[in-house]
Amino acid sequence: MHLYIGLIHYPVYNKNYQIIASAITTFDLHDIARLARTYDVNKFFVITPLDDQQALAERIKRHWTNGYGAKYNRHRKEAIELVEVIPSLEQAINEITKVEGEAPLVIATDVTIQNDRSISYERVKKIIEKENIILIFGTAWGLEKTVLERADYILEPILGRTDYNHLSVRAAAAIILDRLAGRY
């Protein structure tokens, strides 16, 4: 299994369903990097086309891998090392293709059921043992339509015990990675 994840900051929706580039959230980088390290993810792509946001993400990465943070907390270092800042999903896919010798399956996550290419946790759990996969998460109000169209599959939404589906992307990533790669 070679699993990659991508956190997409553009194109995503804002509250009014306009297409935006969202800002980097420090907590997302830390929490999701630690999840990536826990579930043996090969690389965590932080995807944003904005120069200043790339610089911010790189600065956070540097602080915890080379700077004061690396000495202060080596567990953070081990996790943040998995982060790669990259301008677009296509470039992340190209990079995986170079490393793995073939293009990864793109599996998107979303809060609504996308009937045509919807896939269950059970099926992805099996596929993950054989194929290279990039699992993508949207920030803000979720992945823009063209990104969902680009995906090979769209994972079923998370259901809890209510109809409430407004988790943070950090919590959603935790639940999804555990459902797909957890052992208990």
Site for its own copies, rule CB under 8 A: 15, 27, 30-31, 34-35, 37-40, 73, 75-76, 78-79, 120-121, 156, 158-162, 164-168, 170-175, 177-179, 181-184
47: how many CB neighbours lie within 10 A of its CB?
Answer: 24
Report the residue number, 26 or 94, with the smaller CB distance to its own copies. 26
Give min distance, CB of 182 to its own copies, in A: 6
Report the residue number, 21 or 175, with the smaller CB distance to its own copies. 175
Residue 161 DSSP code: S
Measured CA to CA, the distance from residue 158 to residue 113 in angstroms comes to 10
Give min distance, CB of 39 to its own copies, in A: 4
37 contacts 78 by C-beta, under 8 angstroms: yes
47 contacts 21 by C-beta, under 8 angstroms: no
Report the residue number, 147 or 181, with the smaller CB distance to its own copies. 181
> SS in 3 state form for 36-102?
HHHCCCCEEEEECCCHHHHHHHHHHHHHHHCCHHHHHCHHHHHHHCCEEEECCHHHHHHHHHHHHCC
Query: For residue 33, what is the enclosing H or E element?
Result: helix 26-38
Report the residue number, 106 or 180, with the smaller CB distance to its own copies. 180
Q: Which residue has the tokens 């202060």?
A: 72
Give min distance, CB of 75 to its own copies, in A: 4
Report the residue number, 112 or 120, with the smaller CB distance to its own copies. 120
Give min distance, CB of 170 to its own copies, in A: 6
Give min distance, CB of 64 to its own copies, in A: 13
